[in-house]
Structure 1
Amino acid sequence: MDHPPRGPSVDDLVDRFRDICLALPGVEERLNHGMPTFGVAKRPAFCNLHESPTDGRPNLWFKAAPGVQAELVEQEPDRFFVPPYVGPRGWVGLRLDVDLDWDEVAGVVEECWRLTAPRRLVAKHDGIAAKLQSPDDTLDGR
């Protein structure tokens, strides 16, 4: 009897997701209901993993900029959804048992990290000086 191909295990998803999150500066991992939750610089979580209590599907919940939630859920309702509890605050759910583009997931994680991380940490990550150049600084160093 042929069985449909199985997707990655929850443990594999957690490991891959953890690698993406912990590659960003200042990220701290905590457990929330037995699943990893990631925050930055002692600030609240910016994304976390969940298993749906109704169907056991693995999901990523992430903080999103204003307007992003409605756009994603409307454009791709098979992948994105409004999660319970944090959905009214603009968070977005991403189903992880569908075909995943891990580069896209990494981009989503970085965007929600940027919404939560201190500006100096983001500037350092981007390689940009946190303070403005003084008026007598010139580009050629003279």
Structure 2
Amino acid sequence: MPSDFKAFLDTYGTGVIAEELVVFHPHGSSPLLERMRRIHESFAGSRERRPDDFPHPFHPEPGGLISWGYDYGGDEHFFLPCNPDPDRWTIVTMAHEEGCATFDGSFTEFITAFMERLEFMDEDGNIGPAVPSFESC
């Protein structure tokens, strides 16, 4: 796994960033591990039926996407082990099981970009940037 991802997990563990992005360890023992296995199986089955919509294999296939989290908007986030150096892996987001977007940057850069795109409505109805926070699971 990428070193910044491992450092994040060593510091914070499994949890939710800004009440939106769930991050879990693929080798962890939480209930999210079972969810990760189900996601891999589901997407692998979808890939068999619609290979044009799913350009990458899924773990445990060689070079398969490795799930590391999801967001409450319905997107699933994966590492694509496209390089022998895990710190050079890209991130692939599968949007609602249809289509994918590739982020060519580190886990830390992805989290930063994700936070910059998040906006929340406060109790007065004002929309502003998300407040960084982390809640352990």
- TM-based fold match above 0.5: no
The structure having more radius of gyration, on CA atoms, is 1
The structure with the greater share of residues assigned to strand is: 2
Higher relative contact order (CA 8 A, sep 6+): 2
- TM-score, normalised via structure 1 length: 0.30
- TM-score, normalised via structure 2 length: 0.31
